[in-house]
Chain A
Amino acid sequence: MVYTKRIDGRKIDELRPMEAKAGVIKNANGSASFKIGKTWAIAGVYGPREVVPRFMANPKHGILRCHYTMMPFSGSGERIKPGRSRRAQEISMVMEQSLAQVVDLSAFPNSVVDIFVELPQTDAGTRCAAISAACIALADAGIPMKDMVSSVAVGQVDGTVVADLNYNEESYPAIVSDIPVAMLHNTKEISLLQMDGEISKQDLIKALELAKSATEKVYQLQVKALKEKYAVNNEDN
């Protein structure tokens, strides 16, 4: 049976309902909340600040450091034991690499920009939500970036290429592939690409093409969140 009707009734290129807000953590230099379906990521940016440990400092430019953490009660099953899991370490690393491609820290040698992402609840697409939140937070912090990065998972469920898989689709009892993608808005270049599952090259290219319109929808929301913070009618005079 080919997967034509999605479990939650969405169209194949339809993303789950999203919400984004900039400036949600007072102490942070920049911050953002990003929700897609039931996946919720809160990002806070501190920096550029002094690098600790010192040996990590780069004398040519600042470095980016991501810390991805799922809150212990955010997993869809049992409690997640606190502490750096290997999965969290890997996600932190691919996040760093994805965002480093747009961030320009050449004016801040020997410094670090720390990005902390905490997730209070999850339902698939977590690293994508984390990157999308982190990008808003970086812009909110005034970090120079040549472009915004928008991220969402695309994939294939039982022969059908879809955008933004939820947990039920990721674990659908058939051939599935889950492909987190992050895209730069202007050039449509891909800065994050991973895959779980099986897929043919043809379907992969189809999925990546779908990622263009899917990430564009995320981008619109990121821009709205940033501009809303400074909107004229956002006055409480």
Chain B
Amino acid sequence: MSELLVQERSVVVPGEALAQGMDFLPGDNAYRDKDKIYSKVLGLASVSGRVIRITPLSGPYLPKTEDKIIARVMDITISGWRFDTATAYSAMLNVRDATTRFVKKEEDLSQILAIGDYAIVKIVNVTSQNLIDLTMKEPGLHKIIGGRIIKINSQKVPRVIGRQGSMITLIKDKTGCDITVGQNGLIWIKGTLEGEMKAEKAIKLIEAKSHLEGLTEKMERFLGESA
């Protein structure tokens, strides 16, 4: 007799029993041991059909191809730059993937990107050892100048962006800031000092409360208050 042992959207800890019986299937971050399904992380349980999956409340970013991230130049090599991605894995950007213009052989690469510079880049390849190749050649990808960069847990990025970008658009409108969200949890905010502070607070609020009900209303209320 199969039985669900947890409620939808309840917080579960690693090893917590989610369901009993063979009718249920373990989805993301869940696993089966004999006739029970358990959680593998601290997160929110959700059931769709027979699949139980856990949305982590926190956790490391796993680099994926096509992800847009914000990273910092930590080294300049003969062929390009090495980036710190705020994960365990550094990423390489080759000169030919950095710009559409022709770069001469003797050109000083630090004129394009210097050590310590931040940039919005895209992951084009991830090896089995999690080594990452980047590109900066597409529209929307560039070196970051000005503003501030904040870091949130990468698991919260979907909530900060919102369904079809609704949440991030709301924050941009109400604060007048340009905001770029990296999938690795780094977020670039550029606007007035007050606008940036408000946007930072709003994003931190989402990070702290995203697992609770009524997030959109909370955010509208927070952003509706005068700066």
Contacts and interface: CB of A to CB of B under 8 A. Distances in A.
Contacts of B59: 141-144
Nearest to B155: A142
A107 B62 contact: yes
A232 B38 contact: no
A48 B86 CA distance: 10
A65 interface: no
Given A50-B88, A185-B15, A186-B38, A108 B60 contact: yes
Contacts of B211: 230
A30 interface: yes
A109 B29 contact: no
Contact of B88 (A110, A147, A184): A110
Contacts of A142: 41-43, 56-60, 153, 155
Nearest to B17: A186
Nearest to B54: A144
Nearest to A145: B14
A232 B24 CA distance: 28
Interface in B111-141: 128-130
A99 B38 CA distance: 18
B44 to A, nearest CB: 9
A48 B29 contact: no
Interface residues of A, number: 38
Given A139-B42, A144-B41, A223 B57 contact: no
A230 B11 contact: yes
Contacts of A108: 60, 88, 130
The residue in A144, A147, A185, A232 that gathers the most chain B C-beta atoms within 10 A of its C-beta is A144
A139 B14 contact: yes
Interface in B21-49: 29, 31, 33, 38, 40-43
How many interface residues does chain B have, given as a range?
20 to 34
A82 to B, nearest CB: 29
Given A144-B29, A146-B40, A230-B57, A110 B14 contact: no
B145 interface: no
Nearest to A186: B15
B15 A145 contact: yes
Contact of B38 (A47, A110, A146): A146
Contacts of A62: 88
B57 to A, nearest CB: 6
A207 to B, nearest CB: 24
A49 interface: yes
A177 interface: no
A51 B88 CA distance: 8
B94 interface: no
B182 to A, nearest CB: 17
B212 interface: yes
B154 to A, nearest CB: 9
A143 B155 CA distance: 12
A30 B57 CA distance: 11
A29 interface: yes
Contacts of B218: 237
Contacts of B40: 104, 144-146
A147 B129 contact: no
B11 to A, nearest CB: 5
Given A142-B56, A145-B41, A146-B31, A102 B88 contact: no
A227 interface: yes
B42 A110 contact: no
A169 interface: no
Given A102-B14, A235-B212, 15 more contacts: A111-B88, A111-B89, A139-B41, A140-B42, A141-B58, A141-B60, A142-B43, A142-B56, A142-B60, A142-B153, A142-B155, A143-B59, A145-B40, A146-B31, A226-B42
Interface of B: 11, 13-17, 29, 31, 33, 38, 40-43, 56-60, 62, 87-90, 128-130, 153, 155, 209, 211-213, 218
11 contacts: A102-B15, A110-B89, A111-B88, A139-B42, A141-B58, A142-B43, A145-B14, A146-B15, A186-B15, A230-B11, A235-B209
The 5 closest A-B pairs by CB, nearest first: A142-B59, A147-B15, A111-B88, A142-B58, A145-B14
